[in-house]
Structure 1
Amino acid sequence: TKPVVIDGSTPWVAAGEGDLPLLQQSMTQLNLPISAADSNGFTFVHAAASYGQIETLRWILAQEGVHVNAPDTDGDTPLHHCDDATAARVLVEEGGADFCIRNQEGKTAREVKEEELREQQEEEEEEDSDDEDIVNLKELVQYLKGLEGSNDEEMS
């Protein structure tokens, strides 16, 4: 077998692909902390959450020094990057992610996902197809709405 070549992007790719052994190896070899971010402010939490890599996400969240609400250069937290409800649940319920954080456009994760859902539904109408991404986004939006609803009840 060919040896694995580790470069600066390797740990983020590994986190996004759910390759935990490669993530760990590349972090060690590159001497990166769990809170490392790339030039766009994208952390390992962003990478694992945005691609729904649940086991890898759980491992990352269990590490000391991880920042579950770290914003990227657009102010988007890992929750803003989620594309399914499972990753969002792990971020919020296990990682303590704050679902009220607004990005640089002033939008919460729910608002960003509602916008994405509308755009995808419009595209689907034009293409006349059934899209799994839309189903996942609907579930995610419902989850995020439920969080905001429970937060409203706690405040009253």
Structure 2
Amino acid sequence: MASNPFLLAADNDPRLLPLLRAHPSLASSQDDHGYSVMHAAASYNHLDLLRTLVNEFHVNVDLVDEDGETALFVAETVDCAKLLVEELHANITIRNEEGKTAREKVVEEGDFPEVAVYLRMKELEAQVNGLRSEAGTNGVHAPPPLPEGLSVNIGSMAPEEVGEVVDPVFKQRIEELAAREDFQSEEGQWQLRELVTEALRGEVNERDVRQRTS
């Protein structure tokens, strides 16, 4: 039991790293269900261990278990999710065997709404970055970077709002803006910036849709 890397990882036991350095292949090992040291470290919020696994032992941050789920699917804190996504470059678009992303699974289970909101923010950011990239590819001046110093109250959005309200509204509004002839102009870029700021703050809601379609 003492040499079981999964149990040692769950406890962040000081014996784990010497064991892994003596037997490096254990760092990427998985049990019969695909559970890995990465999953254990993420589940128990051992951030330094996650860094070590990826940076020293080169473990795939997107290693999946038998359910097709990566370590991001078991992250229970925003700090852990942020580390995986922003520092270790975990893929937020991976879907498990049920066809759900990590954010969609968190929303469905409803246990960690802060993590769901954080992941939704990263999805919105990726959508806008993709739009900016496409504009640049077409020889058009891309919109400016996302707002700096943006403060997000992650307690202001319910889990169901993350998946059911923001998605269609943001998609509709950004498509409308991108279709405008003045999208590349200073005014169009300013409106894109304002739209992203609204979306990240959770200010886009169903009422906006009714007002725009009435």
TMscore range, shorter length = 0.7 to 0.9
In 2, Cα distance between equivalents of 1:14 and 1:48: 9
Aligned residue pairs: how many? 131
- The aligned counterpart of 2:66 is 73
In 1, Cα distance between equivalents of 2:79 and 2:114: 9
Identify the match of residue 83 of structure 1 among 49, 73, 76.
Answer: 76
- The aligned counterpart of 1:17 is 11
Alignment of 1:89-128 (within 5 A): 89-117=82-110
Deviation at 1:31, TM superposition (A): 5.9
Q: In the alignment, is the contact (CA less than 8 A) between 1:37 and 1:43 conserved in 2?
A: yes
Secondary structure of the residue that 1:75 maps to in structure 2? Answer: coil
The percent identity for this pair of structures is 34
| Residue ranges of structure 1 left out of the alignment (5+ in a row) | 118-133
Secondary structure of the residue that 2:27 maps to in structure 1? Answer: coil
Q: In the alignment, is the contact (CA less than 8 A) between 2:67 and 2:97 conserved in 1?
A: yes
| Residue ranges of structure 2 left out of the alignment (5+ in a row) | 132-214
Distance 1:30 1:61, change over 3 A: closer
Q: Which amino acid is 2:10 matched to?
A: G
Alignment of 1:34-73 (within 5 A): 34-73=27-66
Distance 1:31 1:77, change over 3 A: closer
Identify the match of residue 139 of structure 1 among 114, 120, 136.
Answer: 114
Secondary structure of the residue that 1:32 maps to in structure 2? Answer: helix
Deviation at 1:61, TM superposition (A): 1.9
Q: In the alignment, is the contact (CA less than 8 A) between 2:106 and 2:116 conserved in 1?
A: yes
Secondary structure of the residue that 1:34 maps to in structure 2? Answer: helix
Q: Which has the higher contact order (CA 8 A, sep 6+)?
A: 1
Secondary structure of the residue that 2:86 maps to in structure 1? Answer: helix
Map Cα deviations across residues 7-61 of structure 1 (whole Å, 9 max, x no partner).
Answer: 4xx2111111222x21123335666342111111111111100111112122212
- Over alpha carbons, which structure has the higher Rg? 2
Alignment of 1:143-154 (within 5 A): 143-154=118-129
Q: In the alignment, is the contact (CA less than 8 A) between 2:93 and 2:101 conserved in 1?
A: yes
With normalisation by structure 2, the TM-score equals 0.57
